[in-house]
Amino acid sequence: MEHSHPQGPTPQETVFSVPAMTCRHCVRAISAQVRDVEGVIALEADTTTRTIRVQGAADPDAVCSAIAATGYEASVVTRSPLEQESTGGHLS
């Protein structure tokens, strides 16, 4: 499911720590929940660092709640505005 670019809040890149995310099953379960959060444009999970990088205007508390719904604890590590260039809209 793709989410359209939200009107209003500036898109952010937020990194969440998910200490118990250790395998592909964890990633699939968490990703399915997080993709349904309003404002999520893209996400990337990394089991090595046990983090999830979310791009979009989603409320970090809503993302943490979605992760909690799968049985995992999460916390925000960093949050910063997305850099968008006028040529191609590259996300950094």
The pLDDT tens digits for 16-67 are 999 999 999 999 999 999 999 999 999 999 999 999 999 999 999 999 999 9
Place of tokens 């909690």: 68
> Which pLDDT score is estimated for 69?
96
Q: What is the 3-state secondary structure of the chain?
A: CCCCCCCCCCCEEEEEECCCCCCHHHHHHHHHHHHCCCCEEEEEEECCCCEEEEEECCCHHHHHHHHHHCCCCCEEEEEEECCECCCCCCEC
pLDDT classification of 4: cutoffs 50, 70, 90: very low
Q: Is residue 77 a contact partner of residue 16, using CB atoms and an 8 Å limit? A: yes
Predicted model pTM: 0.77
Of 20-29, 65-74, 79-88, the one with minimum mean pLDDT is 79-88
